[in-house]
Homo-oligomer: A and B are copies of this chain.
């Protein structure tokens, strides 16, 4: 950590600061410039909040050099993490497609979609029981009943299921869920993250709409710090000035996340674009950029979908897409088995 002091800081103040850092086992080396004095802090600075230093009257700027995340950091864990969901592996060359409707609506729907996506080669099934909706007047999901329908579909199809949790208190309902999803709006719901850190189940963590890569990794770190290292990162588009798409898929996030972290990274092309016909080009781009999987909305009747129908594929469209996905995954050196 580098601390840049204000011009004209009295010697006595600098000495005081050095002594207090010394108590935290941080050694300080000074650089006396023409205009500024700079302190280099040597040691484990992860316990220091840069804001604490910034608040001091003598401090002009503070620059962190080491990343603040440890368990999610590739530096301390160079090998790729593989998350295993009932035998389906994600990461380190293993590619998985998670597919299913935006929200669980009925037994018929879940049975139809789960068989269809399985037949097309999806490894996991998704479906929303608890739905975060901007409007309190919009359909909020079938909630507990939706979870039950999902579990029935799991039994029928044999596919592991992924579904979103919206509140830590709902956790007991998720006992038989295979992967728990944390939505973009809850990426910094820290109480929820802490709760999920204490369980032994894969967590699919979606990036927040306006979260930086480092904040995203810090949220993964919250889960991992609690002891749960089975975290799958999911890029799903960020909020920008552009209005032609619902969100802007940050394709660069894939190589950066994989450089900084060992965790698997998947992409949600359905939410990123918000438009059905863009799911294919964005899926191809995600595979090409190094993603470890995709999560795609499929609905047996998108025109009647209770939410987000505009971005859902029909099972037929999904089947066509999967042919291209399988071929591209192989071309780029990963496997879907």
Contact = CB atoms under 8 A, between A and B. Distances in A.
Interface of A: 2, 4, 29, 31-36, 38, 40, 42-44, 46-47, 49, 51-52, 54-57, 61, 63, 65-66, 68-69, 132-140, 166-170, 185-186, 188-194, 208-210, 212-215, 218, 221-222, 225-226, 238-245, 248-256, 259, 272-273, 277-278, 281-282, 284-290, 302-303, 305-312, 328, 331-332
Nearest to A309: B55
Interface of A is mostly: mixed
Contact of A288 (B4, B215, B222, B284): B284
Specify how many copies of this chain sit in the oligomer. 4
Given A31-B42, A34-B43, A310 B51 contact: yes
A332 B47 CA distance: 44
Contacts of A210: 208-210, 239, 241
Nearest to A49: B138
Contacts of A209: 210
A284 to B, nearest CB: 4
Contacts of A36: 65-66
Given A36-B66, A137-B68, A251 B285 contact: yes
Nearest to A166: B191
Contacts of A241: 210, 212, 238-241
A-B CB proximity, top 4 nearest: A55-B309, A210-B210, A31-B40, A288-B288
A93 B210 CA distance: 34
A34 B38 contact: no
Contacts of A33: 40, 42-43, 65
A84 B140 CA distance: 32
Nearest to A68: B135
25 contacts: A2-B2, A4-B65, A29-B32, A31-B40, A31-B42, A32-B42, A33-B40, A33-B42, A47-B137, A51-B307, A51-B310, A61-B65, A69-B135, A134-B218, A136-B190, A136-B194, A167-B168, A185-B188, A185-B190, A209-B210, A213-B244, A244-B252, A255-B278, A255-B282, A284-B289
Given A136-B225, A282-B289, A310-B55, A238 B243 contact: no
Contact of A31 (B29, B140, B250): B29
Contact of A63 (B2, B31, B259, B305): B2
Nearest to A133: B190
A284 B332 contact: yes
Given A68-B137, A132-B188, A137-B46, A242 B213 contact: yes
Contacts of A248: 238, 240, 248, 250, 252
A251 B214 CA distance: 21
A241 B308 CA distance: 21
Contacts of A188: 132, 134, 185
Given A139-B49, A285-B288, A309-B54, A169 B166 contact: no
B272 A281 contact: no
